[in-house]
């Protein structure tokens, strides 16, 4: 992130002015939107409604089915819909760089004023005005400050959108970004009638029948290294085809081997195409899995990374385990 950004309090004033002075906004979040992207989009809609502005909400693929209950009768377009939408200002939410807007970029003329609201530490401060807080847990946390700056009125929907962003980007208040500040905001939002229980159930616990069958299939392959420090599961391409699964359905599978008592390294081998395995690596801290993934041309974080390796399942497992063994050598 640019070192020359104004103080956050100054950024807030500029962002508030940008919203107050414009009249017709396109609000865009990133491709493959997650809970924070969708709820930040919806929150911007509510903010602009309260400010009496016209706006259109959009992202490349629209609102995923699992977030439909949040939107109610609000519309988030996908890029194939309504090609003639006109607007004179853009607000991006939760997009670390301009490329994250995907095909929606083609709608935006270069000179259009753009407000970039985000929390990713890697945000490159694109746009005309930036509202960036790299230490925020979610874009929703940045929006909380903006709503207070604008002096808007809290209501149950607006509070629910902000809570949803906090809930999903902290993994249900479980990740290390679960700060005192996050919980303080959550407390205030609950006073506005946010249904914490319903949101947690629908956003964090709900599974499809396919996901449960895939989980069962994956767990049936569970293996443990002789020292109990590495656990892994695998899903073959024919499993995925047979169960009619998508790559989203596999999101959480790697957490099972990682969460086993005594395990330091949890791995998922997922055959995305015949003979090509996407390998997800999760560490409990002892092993640097960014390095491990790099050995196979992949990358990521110290505790969560991935790479792609061709071969048979047995070959790929053997190669990764051999390389992982070096981490303890």
User: Position of tokens 């396919």?
Assistant: 210
Sequential DSSP letters for 104-123: GGGGS-TTS-EEEEE--TT-
Name the minimum Å distance from CB 51 to a second copy.
27
Report if residue 238 touches a second copy, rule: CB under 8 A: no
Nearer to a second copy, 175 or 328 (CB): 175
Burial class of 194 by CB neighbour count within 10 A (0 to 12, 13 to 18, 19+): buried
Report if residue 135 touches a second copy, rule: CB under 8 A: no
The 255-274 contact track toward a second copy, x by CB under 8 A, reads xxx-xxx-------------
Report if residue 156 touches a second copy, rule: CB under 8 A: no
Contacts of 267 (CB under 8 A, 6+ apart): 230, 231, 232, 233, 254, 257, 279, 280, 281, 282, 320, 324
Q: Which residue among 77, 215, 230, 287 contacts a second copy (CB under 8 A)?
A: 215
Report if residue 301 touches a second copy, rule: CB under 8 A: no
Find out whether 42 and 69 touch, Cβ atoms under 8 Å: no
Report if residue 8 touches a second copy, rule: CB under 8 A: no
Report if residue 226 touches a second copy, rule: CB under 8 A: no
Element (H, E) at 281: strand 276-283
Q: Which residue among 208, 238, 246, 312 contacts a second copy (CB under 8 A)?
A: 208
Site for a second copy in 30-89 (CB under 8 A): none
Of 77, 101, 87, 98, which Cα lies nearest the Cα of 29? 101
Name the minimum Å distance from CB 187 to a second copy.
4
Cα–Cα dist 134/311, whole Å: 39
Name the minimum Å distance from CB 59 to a second copy.
23
Name the minimum Å distance from CB 47 to a second copy.
22
Rounded to 10 degrees, what is the CA torsion of 219, 225, 229, 230?
A: -50
Q: Which residue among 21, 86, 110, 209 contacts a second copy (CB under 8 A)?
A: 209
Cα–Cα dist 329/319, whole Å: 16
Nearer to a second copy, 130 or 203 (CB): 203
Nearer to a second copy, 238 or 255 (CB): 255
Residue 77: strand pairing partners: 58
Q: Which residue among 9, 86, 122, 180 contacts a second copy (CB under 8 A)?
A: 180
Find out whether 102 and 60 touch, Cβ atoms under 8 Å: yes
Nearer to a second copy, 88 or 216 (CB): 216
Stretch that binds a second copy, among 4-12, 20-28, 34-42, 251-259 (CB under 8 A): 251-259
Q: Which residue among 4, 9, 86, 187 contacts a second copy (CB under 8 A)?
A: 187
Name the minimum Å distance from CB 186 to a second copy.
4
DSSP, collapsed to helix, strand or coil, labels residue 191 as coil
Residue 202 backbone zone (phi > 0: left; psi -120 to 50: alpha; other: beta):
alpha
The residues that touch a second copy, with contacts defined as CB under 8 A, are 172-176, 178-184, 186-188, 190-191, 196-197, 200-201, 204-209, 212-213, 215-216, 219-220, 222, 224, 231, 255-257, 259-261, 284
């Amino acid at each position: 992130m640019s070192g020359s950004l104004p103080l956050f309090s100054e950024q807030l004033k500029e962002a508030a002015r940008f919203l107050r002075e414009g009249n017709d906004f396109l609000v865009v979040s990133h491709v493959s939107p997650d809970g924070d992207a969708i709820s930040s989009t919806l929150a911007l809609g509510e903010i602009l409604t309260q400010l009496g502005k016209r706006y259109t909400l959009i992202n490349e693929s629209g609102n995923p089915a699992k977030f439909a209950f949040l939107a109610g009768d609000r519309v988030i377009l996908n890029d194939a819909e309504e090609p003639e939408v006109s607007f004179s200002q853009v607000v991006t939410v939760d997009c670390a760089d301009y490329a994250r807007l995907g095909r929606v970029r083609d709608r935006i003329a270069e000179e259009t004023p753009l407000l970039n609201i985000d929390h990713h530490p890697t945000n490159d401060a694109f746009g005309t005005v930036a509202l960036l807080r790299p230490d925020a847990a979610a874009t929703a946390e940045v929006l909380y400050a903006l709503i207070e700056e604008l002096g808007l009125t809290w209501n149950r929907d607006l509070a629910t959108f902000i809570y949803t962003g906090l809930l999903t980007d902290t993994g249900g208040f479980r990740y290390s970004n679960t700060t005192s500040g996050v919980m303080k905001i959550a407390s205030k939002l609950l006073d506005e009638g946010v249904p914490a229980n319903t949101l947690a159930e629908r956003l964090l616990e709900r599974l499809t029948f396919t996901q449960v069958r895939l989980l069962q299939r994956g767990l049936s392959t569970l293996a443990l290294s002789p020292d109990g420090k590495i656990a892994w599961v695998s899903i073959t391409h024919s499993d995925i085809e047979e169960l009619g699964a998508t790559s989203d359905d596999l999101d959480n599978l790697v957490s099972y081997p990682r969460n086993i008592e005594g395990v330091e390294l949890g791995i998922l081998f997922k055959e995305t195409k015949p003979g090509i395995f996407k390998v997800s690596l999760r560490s409990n801290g002892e092993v640097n899995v960014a390095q491990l993934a790099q050995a196979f041309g992949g990358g990521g974080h110290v505790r969560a990374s991935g790479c792609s390796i061709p071969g048979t399942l047995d070959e790929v497992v053997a190669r990764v385990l051999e390389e992982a063994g070096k981490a303890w050598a």
